[in-house]
Every structure is written in structure tokens, then in C-alpha cells.
Amino acid sequence: GDSVTQMEGPVTLSEEAFLTINCTYTATGYPSLFWYVQYPGEGLQLLLKATKADDKGSNKGFEATYRKETTSFHLEKGSVQVSDSAVYFCALSGTYNNNDMRFGAGTRLTVKP
């Protein structure tokens, strides 16, 4: 079935470090891809998305490019801040096999001052 695999955490970085969180997917058809962020005690918030191959989603300094050839959608940020500490979820939707969104297990990021 359709699924998303993202790198296991936790990830701990110093402030201003470069961030990469890997995400790969398995899907039939041409899914849309998403990154969500969850801050402590809150619900998930949509961070960015891409709906077709080679699209780049971006928001708040975060970027991810939809790579069909490698079935990947890695999240990157050039300089993380303490306020970026959260759990990040990769997700896909819009395939032939399901009517809902499939989420990865989440990656916890902690940024230290």
C-alpha cells in the first residue's frame, strides 16, 4: 500500500545549523506531498506542500522538492532556530488506493542555543 518513511529521530542541532530530514514514499499514481509540524501540546500544522514532480514547496525558511525519480521529499532549512524545535511529519495523499492522507512516523527536532 501507499506509505511514507521518514528518518528516525530524535535529531538534535545547535542554533544556526543546517537541517535535513529525509522522507521517501511508496505510492501508485501521482500523489501530493506534504510536511506538517507539531509543536508541544498542539495539533499538526501544514508547513509546506508540493503537488507534482519537481515542484518546490517552501515556507518559513523550510524547503522540500518533490523528486519523482528518487521518490523523495526531503525537508531542509539553512539555519535552524530554537523556535523550530517540534515534531515534523511527512505525508502523502491523492493516490488511487486511498481517500485519506498517509503520515510518516514523525521526526522530533530539538534545537539548542
Comparing CB distances to another protein, the nearer of 85 and 94 is 94
In three-state secondary structure terms, 23 is strand
- The verdict on 94 binding another protein (CB under 8 A) reads yes
Start-to-end Cα distance in the chain: 41
Nearest to residue 13, comparing CAs of 108, 88, 94?
Answer: 108
CA-CA distances (angstroms) from residue 20 to 27, 75, 76, 109?
A: 22, 6, 5, 10
Look up residue 96 and give its three cell numbers. 488511487
Q: Pick from 10, 40, 69, 100 the residue near another protein by CB under 8 A.
A: 100
Minimum gap (Å) between residue 96 Cβ and another protein: 11
- The verdict on 32 binding another protein (CB under 8 A) reads yes
- The verdict on 89 binding another protein (CB under 8 A) reads yes
**Per rule CB under 8 A, count of chain residues that contact another protein:** 20
Question: Which stretches of the chain bind another protein, using CB under 8 A?
Answer: 32, 34, 36, 42-46, 49, 51, 89, 93-94, 99-101, 103-106
